[in-house]
Amino acid sequence: MSVPVRSKMQFHKVCVWGEGGSYDDPLQPVTQDETASVGGMVTLTCRVAASDNSSLQWSNTAQQTLYFGEKRALRDNRIQLNRSTGTELSITIGNVQLSDEGEYTCSIFTMPVRTARATVTVLGVPDKPQISGYEDTVQEGGKVTLTCTSSGSKPPAKLRWYRNQEELTGRPDVVETNPDEATYTVISELTLTVGRSDDNTLIGCAVDHPSLSPGEKWTEQPIRVLFTPDVTIQPQNDLPREGEKFIIQCIGNGNPKPTSYVWQKKDGELPLMAKVDGSFLLFEMLNKSDNGVYLCQADNGIGKMQGEYTLLVQDPTAMSTSSGVDHAVIGGVVAVIVFILLCLLIVLGRYLIRHKGTYLTHEAKGCDDAPDADTAIINAEGGHSGAEDKKEYFI
């Protein structure tokens, strides 16, 4: 069920003039305009600033009394009392129809009777759009014209086209009046030139209307595009070796899928040991004579496309020799590194030994010339006290 979508305030007051100027009448009813969608609900509220115990009354567009204070006057279960006080009378109309649109009157029975009016606008809710014009498939480069139609809107709806999430520009909308009711049917057309990238694309038509939330009513139509295949040739592995089995496959990507494959060898015939199995070309035992460029042509009924693959058979012996040479080179590099490290260790060891011997020799210096052990210890420690030559001076 739709709900009211907008409300526009419209105050109606009577201005009374006196000797001192003008002032607002506290007994003048105040109402506001309302807008609702078909099937929704509208609330009509009438208020006065002050009360003199006079009753408020709501009347419909035909001047039939709906409510007089708290008393129902018209037997229409869609109309219910919402609130009734000395200064306010509020009623609701449920399941609103287009016939409910018009001007409603609120009256207060004072002397004189005071009235105010509220206009109710009813929006016709558009139907879900329908897309027509697409029958089956369209070939690449061809054109397709789609028609989107939506009925029941008031005011007339706007139709928008989309390809996936991208908005497209169609022809201006055509608006037709529905003869039996005050609503409109809106028609829009879109013409597309399609390519292979449009295959399985969703073309959408959305209704834009104040009675709806954005994207609330939307229809999509998938497009199927026929196009010639793209061809690639895929080997079983990237290292074809002489004497081994080898397979290459022709892969055709088109709509529809290719149903026919033709294998050829460029500038020659297919080898005797090569067998064709649909999209596969099988070599039972590779030979260097199989080297060359192989062609595959795929046909899907829409068109033919060709792919190619260059076969270069490898010699297993040369590959193993090359592998042995590589290992020998690596081993030689490792041996050189180890030899350099050993040489560095030897040089470093000799250096440390030589410096340690010099230290010991300096410590023992002076021991050989000492007359006894005590003197040798003093000389070894570098002490010279008492060992200095005595000098005599004559006066």
Domain total in the chain: 4
Q: What DSSP line would sit under 4-49, residue for residue? A: --EEE-----PEEEETTEEEE-TTS-B--EEEEETTS-EEEEEE-S
Residues 102 and 156 in one domain: no
Place of tokens 């006079």: 54
Structural domain includes residue 391: no
Q: Answer for the pair 125, 216: CB distance below 8 angstroms, yes or no.
A: no
Give the pair of three-digit tokens for residue 87: 């200064």
H helical segments located in the chain: 316-364, 373-381
pLDDT value, residue 273: 87
Q: Name the pTM for this structure.
A: 0.65
Residue 307, in any domain of the structure: yes
For residues 11 and 106, state if they share a domain.
yes
Comparing C-alpha atoms, which of 212, 181, 213, 4 is closest to residue 94? 4
**367 and 295 inside one domain:** no
Q: Are residues 10 and 107 in the same domain?
A: yes
pLDDT of residue 250: 96
Task: Among 259, 282, 316, identify where a domain stops.
Answer: 316
pLDDT computed for residue 201 by the predictor: 94
Per-residue pLDDT tens, the chain, 395 aa: give them: 343 343 333 333 333 332 222 348 899 999 999 999 999 999 999 999 998 889 999 999 999 999 999 999 988 999 999 999 999 999 999 999 999 999 999 999 888 999 999 999 999 999 999 999 998 899 999 999 999 999 999 999 999 999 988 999 999 999 999 988 899 999 999 999 999 999 999 999 999 999 999 889 999 999 999 999 999 999 988 889 999 999 999 999 999 999 999 999 998 899 988 999 999 999 999 999 999 999 999 999 999 999 999 999 998 875 554 445 556 677 778 888 988 988 888 888 787 877 655 444 444 445 455 555 555 445 545 444 443 444 443 33
Regarding whether 263 and 166 lie in a shared domain, the answer is: no
Is residue 163 in some structural domain? Answer: yes
Q: Is residue 200 part of a domain?
A: yes
Q: Prior bond to 256 cis, omega within 30?
A: yes
Contact 173/159 with Cβ under 8 angstroms? yes
Is residue 235, in this structure, part of any structural domain at all? yes
Tokens of 364: 């023992």
My answer on whether 297 and 361 are in the same domain is no
Domain contains 337: no
Which DSSP string corresponds to 77-142?
TTEEEEEE-SSEEEEEE-S--GGG-EEEEEEE-SSS-EEEEEEEEEEBPPPPPEEES--S-EETT-
Between CA 70 and CA 73 the distance in angstroms is 9
Q: Are residues 195 and 168 in the same domain?
A: yes
What DSSP state is assigned to residue 245?
Answer: -
First to last CA, the chain: 142
Same domain? 166 vs 60: no
Residue 53 confidence (pLDDT)? 86
Instruction: Tell me which DSSP letter residue 51 carries.
Output: -
The CATH number given to whatever domain includes residue 17 is 2.60.40.10
Same domain, 118 and 12: yes
Based on the fold, state whether residues 212 and 235 are members of the same structural domain: no
235 and 172 share one domain: no
pLDDT value for 385: 43
Examine residue 45 and state whether it is found in any structural domain, yes or no: yes
Q: Which of 223, 257, 286 is the last residue of a domain?
A: 223
Per the structure, the complete domain to which residue 278 belongs is given by 228-316
Q: Can you tell me whether residue 281 is helix, strand or coil?
A: strand
Q: What pLDDT is stored for residue 179 in this prediction?
A: 85
71-72 vs 184-193, strand pairing mode: unpaired
pLDDT at 124: 96
Local structure of 326: helix, strand or coil: helix
Whether residue 303 is contained in a domain is answered as yes
- Asked whether the beta carbons of 239 and 296 are under 8 A apart, the reply is no
Last-in-domain residue among 82, 103, 123? 123
Same domain, 116 and 92: yes
